[in-house]
Structure formats: structure tokens, C-alpha cells
Amino acid sequence: MATVRDLRDRIKSLKNTQQITKAMKQVAAAKIRRAEIAQKQARPYADTLAEMLRDLMGAVSSVDHSFMKPGKAGAPPAILLVTADKGLAGAFNSNAIRAAEQVARERGNVAWYTVGNKARNAVRRLGKPDSPAWVLNAPSKLDTARDVARRISDDFVNGTISEVTVVSQKLVSMMSQRPEARKLIPIESAALREAPGDAERRAPSGSVEFAGSPEFVLSRLLPKYLEFTIYSALLETDAAFFAAQLLAMTNATDNAKKLIDELTIQMNNARQAAITKELLEIVAGAEALGVE
């Protein structure tokens, strides 16, 4: 049975842990608000870009752009895996990694691109130490998205890879995050026509005048579409990570409180048992000595 001193040390350790988890909970709550603001600020650009692409796709018969064509035959498919840089968020990172591994098993031998330290470490464990990698918490996520899009575009155009699938976490709600796999390139025209946005706000085909041919403008917008798709995945992963961490730290704080209460009861019982034992020993010693 644990002694009073052992129980007191365990309670002290749990209180220290509870202070850490409570502080991390508050930090996650503050950061998720900033991540949501960043998503809202990027939404008008996403809606406008989607409307322009839909209008252009309705105005052109065909697009002569490498992003709209199948990749080089025989080249391996690629996976862009996006996770967080840190853990302590439950199964957030491991769920995304498992989803990417499932996609890899379906496609056979694949090339890897990773954003986030957890994704980089997971790919290294798979025996791919030289895969291109970026951190999620860079000073500018937009610059990271541009760098990733540039590397992926060059490899696709040069025939190093045949297609790219991005696997990242989708923020369903504050209580739920779900890994999602989406084909990034080659870009399918149906995906552009059904880009996210309210149906009421869709501009009718031909309502926008373009300087130059629609084909020329579309060829310039497709790389921007690729960059912003990756940028949106980074923003959503960031928000989803802090939501998962907030939930994990809330549960950890509550569990620490329950353990502290249970150990406090055990410590009080042990202290009472020790006092009772000492009293019995005093009484027994007095009786043995014949002291009244």
C-alpha cells in the first residue's frame, strides 16, 4: 500500500501536470481563434477565384495546360501529407498519417512530399529519408504553400511524378476532425466547375470580360489555384490541430482533477490509518508496561 508521503508526491506531480495542461488549453483556445480569423480572411479570395475559374471553364472549349493533362506514363504517383509540427493533440497526426498510408497502399510505390514535422518523421520511418519536407508553423504559410506548389509543379511538368494527392485534416467541428484525401493535379475540369462557393453567388458564364483570351487567363490562374488549394489545406490543418489540442488538453485537465481527488481520498485514508495504528501501538505499549 502506498504511504502518505508517496501519495502526497503523486498529488503534487499531478497538480504540476494539471497546471501545464490548463496553460496549453488556454494557448490552444487563443491560437484557434487566430487560425479561424486567417481562414475567414482567405475566404473572399477563394470565392472570387472559384467564380472566375468557373466562368472561364464555361467560356473555353479546351485548355492547353500541363495541369489539365494526365501525367507521364510510368511515373510514380505522389502524396502530399500535411500534419502538425507538434503532438499532444490526441490521434490528430496519427489519423492523417494512417489515411496517407492507406492511399499509398492503393497506389503502390509513391513519392512523398510532407508539410509538418510529424509527417516528415512518419515518412522517414517508411524508409524515405530524402523526401521534400516543409514545416507547418513557418513565418508565412502563404510562402510555404507557394514553395510546395512550385516544387510539385516542376516535378509534375518534368515527368518525375504522374499525379499528386493531398492528405490533410478537415475541421468538421471543434469536437471532430477528419482526414481527407483530394487529388491535387492533374486538375479535373469538373472539380473547377464544382469549386466551393454559394450557388447564388456564381457569376454566369461570359459575365466577366478578360484582357486576352480566356484560355490565356485560365492558364495563368491554374497555378494560383494550385497554390491556394495548398494554402487552404495548411490553414485548415492549423485550425484543426488547435481544436484537437484544445479537446485533448481539456480532457487531460479534467482527468488530472479526478485523479487528484481520488488520491486525496486515499491519502486521507492512509493518514487516518497511520494515526489509528500509532494510537493502537501507544495503547498496547502502555498496557504492556502496566501504565494506567
- Going by pLDDT thresholds of 50, 70 and 90, the confidence category of residue 98 is very high
Helix (H, G, I), strand (E, B) or coil at 160: coil
The beta-carbon contacts of 15-19 under 8 Å, at least 24 apart in sequence, are: 15/256, 15/260, 17/252, 17/256, 18/253, 18/256, 18/257, 18/260
pLDDT over 80 at 61, yes or no: no
Which amino acid is located at 267 in the chain? M
How high is the mean pLDDT of the chain?
A: 84
Question: In this predicted model, which residue has the larger pLDDT, 20 or 224?
Answer: 20
β 176-185/164-173 pair status: antiparallel
pLDDT over 90 at 270, yes or no: no
Task: Report the largest interatomic distance among the alpha carbons of the chain, rounded to a whole angstrom.
Answer: 114
pLDDT over 90 at 64, yes or no: no
Q: Cis omega before residue 186 (within 30°)? A: yes
Q: Model pTM?
A: 0.81
Contact criterion met (CB below 8 Å) for 165 and 80: yes
Burial class (CB in 10 A: 0-12, 13-18, 19+), 222: buried
Domains identified in the chain and CATH numbers: 21-248 (3.40.1380.10)
Residue 167: CB atoms within 10 A of its CB come to 24
- Going by pLDDT thresholds of 50, 70 and 90, the confidence category of residue 1 is low
- Going by pLDDT thresholds of 50, 70 and 90, the confidence category of residue 72 is confident
**Rounded to an integer, what distance in angstroms lies between the CA atom of residue 245 and that of residue 84?**
11
Report the share of the chain in percent with pLDDT over 70: 87
